[in-house]
């Protein structure tokens, strides 16, 4: 008698049916389940260094921060969690960096040895790939590129960490942890002192800078650049906008941070020229969603906080490990402003015309994101009594899944920590879901109302 369908078949059928009926809801559900599982694992006594169960709020907050590749923490990562707890955090970072939709496609490959149409549609919604034929190539690129870069970063970091720590096993573990955390823009550090001892060390920090920057570009950009590495003229418009805007923001952020912090005795003043240059570059790249810091963020000038607020809110590239509204959203809105100022009818860039639908989605994503930040900031102001500058910094860092912190998160009351945890979840999944929903919601009306222009400005 023939055996009935196995468990994997039922799982695949359920995923297919859920994907057809509500792909956005499926994405949110899977992400929530991953966070719940990681929370349960971190709640076990063996996950902490002291062998006792972590409070639920700390386990949930850490699980959410790791899965959403944020980096905000309520307890010191390197001191509080055991080696097994750190392994759980690292696995959660890897899962969050790959993306739930990409993992769904990998599950489909494992079950059926191929990517079906439903899986292709799923991963397309996560990665913004427009041609289904590219999805299989993209999934392979995601795995190969991320793993190769993480291994390369770890190999470069290992000698410096071995020199610093003296223990080969510990140095190798920390090198792997930093490499995965860097490429996935997670910002978690496995040691109590973090990267502060390496503030002027180019060997240690430059690989982390490069890993964070590449990871923040997004997998479609990595795929497009890899396919046309020798001929940038063949890059598509998304890649050109992402790369140019990201580089411009890094240069702008680095220069302005250096100007603000040059004479600050708590940050850059004790450093030499080389150290200041490195610290400025590091600070310019990390708001892409990296979240690492080599100086005490709490000692930065308020003007620097405000600049980092803006850079974190923008974030990095679409369909990658970075958060924020994404650099292409900023680029499209800036190009629209330029076109309006010139009196041009079309929004254009690199010899291509950007559709009005794209501009509408960009405006909607920016406005809704700002609304989430506003509501969360108001809630935290009411719960804590802290000043707006530190609250706004923490809220934007959580929503943009960046992880930079002024140091107030561990001391927040539990309700405020839950607010930040929800905000991290929304920041990682909400903008993707919103953009996909708006892009698919395209109504064609037979009857259109007469046009009339209200007064603007």
* Mean per-residue pLDDT pooled into runs of 10, the chain (457 residues): 55 58 65 92 95 95 95 93 95 84 52 52 55 59 83 95 91 95 93 91 95 89 85 91 96 96 93 94 94 94 96 89 90 94 90 88 89 96 94 96 94 96 88 56 66 75
CA-wise closest residue to 404 among 73, 153, 63, 35:
73
In angstroms, the Cα distances linking 12 to 107, 129, 131, 225, 250 are 8, 22, 23, 33, 42
Angstrom distance (rounded) from CA 9 to CA 14 = 9
Task: Enumerate residues 6+ apart whose C-beta is below 8 A from 290.
Answer: 182, 185, 187, 208, 212, 216, 402, 403
What is the dihedral angle through the alpha carbons of 251, 253, 254, 260, rounded to the nearest 10 degrees?
Answer: 140
Helix%, strand%, coil% for the chain, nearest 5: 70, 0, 30
The pair of three-digit structure tokens given for residue 71, joined into one six-digit string = 């980096």
Using DSSP's 3-state secondary structure scheme, residue 102 falls into helix
Q: What is the pLDDT of residue 180?
A: 95
Using DSSP's 3-state secondary structure scheme, residue 81 falls into strand
Cα 282 to chain centroid, rounded? 17
Q: What is the pLDDT of residue 19?
A: 53
Task: Enumerate residues 6+ apart whose C-beta is below 8 A from 106.
Answer: 98, 139, 143
CA-wise closest residue to 285 among 204, 189, 185, 369:
185
Domain ranges of the chain: 7-440
Long-range own/partner contacts, residues 255-261 (CB < 8 A, 24 or more apart): 255/280, 255/284, 256/307, 257/283, 257/284, 257/304, 257/307, 257/308, 260/300, 260/301, 260/303, 260/304, 260/307, 261/295, 261/300, 261/301, 261/304
Angstrom distance (rounded) from CA 85 to CA 80 = 9
Angstrom distance (rounded) from CA 374 to CA 48 = 35
Q: What is the pLDDT of residue 1?
A: 44
Asked whether 322 and 397 are in contact (CB, 8 A), the reply is: no
Q: What is the 3-state secondary structure (H, E, C) of 300-353?
A: CCHHHHHHHHHHHHHCCCCCCCCCCCCHHHHHHHHHHHHHHHHCCCCEEECCEE
In angstroms, the Cα distances linking 293 to 192, 242, 395, 405, 407 are 13, 24, 17, 9, 12
Q: Phi and psi dihedrals of 29, rounded to 5?
A: -65, -45
Asked whether 393 and 308 are in contact (CB, 8 A), the reply is: yes
Q: Tally Cβ neighbours within 10 Å of residue 75.
A: 16
pTM across the whole model: 0.88
Q: Tally Cβ neighbours within 10 Å of residue 339.
A: 17
Angstrom distance (rounded) from CA 268 to CA 295 = 8
């Amino acid at each position: 008698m023939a055996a009935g369908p196995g468990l994997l078949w039922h799982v695949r059928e359920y995923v297919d049916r859920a994907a057809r009926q509500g792909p956005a809801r499926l994405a949110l559900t899977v992400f929530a389940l991953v966070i719940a599982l990681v929370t349960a694992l971190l709640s076990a006594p063996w996950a902490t260094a002291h062998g006792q169960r972590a409070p639920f709020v700390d386990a949930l907050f850490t699980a959410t921060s790791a899965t959403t590749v944020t980096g905000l923490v309520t307890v010191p990562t390197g001191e509080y969690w055991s080696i097994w707890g750190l392994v759980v955090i690292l696995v959660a970072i890897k899962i969050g960096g790959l993306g739930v939709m990409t993992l769904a496609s990998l599950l489909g490959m494992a079950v059926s040895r191929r990517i079906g149409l439903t899986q292709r549609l799923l991963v397309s919604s996560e990665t913004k790939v427009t041609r289904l034929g590219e999805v299989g190539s993209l999934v392979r690129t995601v795995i190969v590129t991320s793993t190769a870069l993480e291994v390369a970063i770890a190999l470069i970091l290992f000698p410096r960490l071995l020199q610093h720590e003296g223990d080969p096993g510990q140095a190798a573990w920390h090198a792997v942890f930093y490499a995965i955390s860097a490429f996935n823009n997670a910002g978690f550090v496995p040691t109590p002192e973090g990267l502060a001892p390496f503030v002027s060390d180019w060997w240690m920090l430059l690989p982390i800078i490069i890993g964070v920057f590449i990871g923040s570009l997004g997998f479609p950009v990595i795929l497009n650049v890899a396919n046309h590495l020798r001929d940038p003229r063949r890059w598509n418009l998304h890649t050109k906008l992402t790369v140019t805007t990201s580089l411009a923001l890094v240069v702008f952020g680095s220069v302005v941070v250096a100007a603000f912090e040059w004479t600050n005795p708590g940050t850059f003043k004790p450093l030499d020229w080389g150290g200041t240059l490195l610290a400025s570059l590091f600070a310019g790249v990390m708001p892409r969603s990296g979240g690492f810091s080599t100086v005490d963020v709490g000692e930065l000038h308020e003007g620097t906080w405000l600049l980092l607020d803006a850079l974190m809110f923008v974030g990095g590239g679409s369909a990658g490990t970075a958060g924020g509204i994404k650099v292409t959203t900023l680029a499209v809105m800036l190009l629209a402003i330029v076109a309006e100022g010139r009196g041009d009818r079309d929004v254009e860039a690199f010899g291509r015309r950007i559709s009005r639908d794209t501009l509408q989605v960009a405006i909607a994503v920016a406005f809704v994101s700002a609304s989430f930040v506003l509501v969360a900031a108001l809630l935290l102001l009411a719960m804590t009594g802290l000043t707006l500058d530190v609250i706004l910094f923490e809220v934007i860092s959580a929503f943009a899944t960046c992880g930079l912190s002024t140091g107030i998160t561990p001391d927040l009351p539990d309700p405020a920590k839950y607010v930040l945890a929800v905000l991290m979840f929304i920041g990682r999944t909400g903008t993707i879901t919103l953009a996909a929903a708006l892009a698919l919601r395209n109504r064609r009306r037979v009857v259109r109302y007469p046009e009339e222009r209200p007064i603007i400005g």
